[in-house]
Structure 1
Amino acid sequence: MHSAPRAVAFFDVDETLIKVKSMARFLAFYWARTGQDPARFEDARTAHLRRQAAGMPRAQLNRAFYRNFRGAQGAELTAAGRAWFAAEQTHQDLFNQQVLDALHAHRRAGRLIALVSGSFLPCLAPVAEAVNADVVLCTTAEERDGILTGETGIPVIGPRKAVLARRTMRAHSCDPRDCWAYGDHDSDAELLSAVAHPVVVGDNPLLRSLAGRHGWQRLLTAAPLSPAR
């Protein structure tokens, strides 16, 4: 006997569910943990900002970022990810409380919880465990014999988020008309457009414009959002 189809609530992670950019903060943490010169991170950050200013597409920026992990051991990164997450929770209020409250409301309503991110599992696995997410859709770092090559699969950026969201809805026999998505950046626009209940987090100009045009919900204040209605 098959269970009834369930709806999905999709959550971008960085600066949506959590308040920080997980990849950059994790890289700084990991290099400090492994005894790297702090100047190495500053050099990597400067190079990233230079590529961004030159107009490099986000998917390419994502690939370039992961080259910083070339030669790292996958198991070591997994352990470092858990330590990073614990440190983030100790030092500050990591989660965007309004979005976290919405996530819990979706779970109470019986919806699947999917995290969608250009980040990778060392960062996302502890976040997913903390919120009891059902699905993690993320960039996959390539490994050979347990060592990262510095290359990735298709970055989960922009249109790729929508592709994976639609695939997830089909896999769980979910109607997009019953599904939700949360995002904060231009690159989340296609993910938000893939469901009937998009929620714009923050004040991104493009998403604000789309919300005004299409009647999307916006999450800007401390007023509670009730996604379970």
Structure 2
Amino acid sequence: MASTSPRSAAFFDVDGTVINVTSMFRFLEYRLAAEGHPPSVYRHERQRLKAMTAAGVPRAETNRAYFASYAGADARQVSRLAEDWFRAELASGAFFNEHVVGALRRHQREGDLVVLVSGSFRAPLAPIARHLDADIVLCSDPETVDGRYTGQVERPMIGEAKAEAVRALTARRALDLSASTAYGDHVSDLPLLRMTGHAVVVGDDPVMREQARHQGWPLWPRTSVDALAR
């Protein structure tokens, strides 16, 4: 029997790339409000995490710290809230980066495997993936015990973890990385972008723009702030 040719894939970071917002924080704000917390609770949590970033704490550790606020939360209830959150985001407009979604649709028409690779977690990513008909989601998976989050995550899907997950997927699915494309907006996406034969930088991060110029990668815009406000 003839061997099957390796399949090409398209790997998409999500926050700031496929969507114009950060799903983890937008969903956290929505969840806390839905659970009856005053806005100050979200502001305090957001400032705590921003302070870690400003102090130079690695992004993977900030990602771990994010999940502390989920300790004890019912995972099924979080998933239900995530569905409601996604519908609200869609209704508000300018949630998706249409440049990137257009590319995703083109990859689908060409038969590429479409993979979302995100430091976010499955609850808010699931409705996004379903809406886009993505084939696979590689993401941070916070720990659960007896259906409730513990507040811990063993391996955030950040930086080299993205590259390692894609390597493992490539071995399982016999993918051709040289014919594949990766899309990202942040320096933590560079290990992923460097793995594929083609890469696209989204947004205006100065380090990423310099990498794009050096590597000859295309530069694509985010949706404008004005469009998001509308």
TM-score range, shorter chain: over 0.9
More displaced 10-residue stretch of structure 1: 75-84 or 213-222: 213-222
| Aligned 8 A contact 1:73 1:147 in 2 | yes
| Aligned 8 A contact 1:8 1:169 in 2 | no
Offset, 1:38: 1.6
Question: Are 2:127 and 1:121 aligned?
Answer: no
Offset, 1:93: 1.8
Matches within 5 A, 1:82-97: 82-97=83-98
More displaced 10-residue stretch of structure 1: 31-40 or 211-220: 211-220
Matched length? 222
Q: In 2, Cα distance between the equivalents of 1:59 and 1:27?
A: 18
Unaligned runs of at least 5 residues, structure 1: 223-229
Question: Are 2:182 and 1:181 aligned?
Answer: yes
In structure 2, the residue corresponding to 1:49 is in which secondary structure?
helix
1:8 aligned partner: 9
Q: In 1, Cα distance between the equivalents of 2:220 and 2:47?
A: 32
Q: In 2, Cα distance between the equivalents of 1:177 and 1:41?
A: 43
1:199 aligned partner: 200
Matches within 5 A, 1:201-216: 201-216=202-217
TM superposition outliers: structure 1 runs of 4+ over 6 Å: none
One-letter amino acid matched to 1:42 = R
Offset, 1:216: 1.5
2:226 aligned partner: none
Offset, 1:153: 2.3
Q: In 2, Cα distance between the equivalents of 1:93 and 1:217?
A: 22
Q: In 2, Cα distance between the equivalents of 1:121 and 1:79?
A: 12
In structure 1, the residue corresponding to 2:120 is in which secondary structure?
coil
Unaligned runs of at least 5 residues, structure 2: 224-230
Q: Deviations over 1:58-90 (max 9, x none)?
A: 000000001011110000011011000000001
Q: In 1, Cα distance between the equivalents of 2:142 and 2:94?
A: 28
| Aligned 8 A contact 1:140 1:155 in 2 | yes
Aligned-CA RMSD value: 1.4
2:23 aligned partner: 22
The TM-score, its normalising length taken from structure 2, stands at 0.93
| Aligned 8 A contact 2:9 2:115 in 1 | yes
The TM-score, its normalising length taken from structure 1, stands at 0.93
Offset, 1:200: 0.6
Offset, 1:213: 1.4
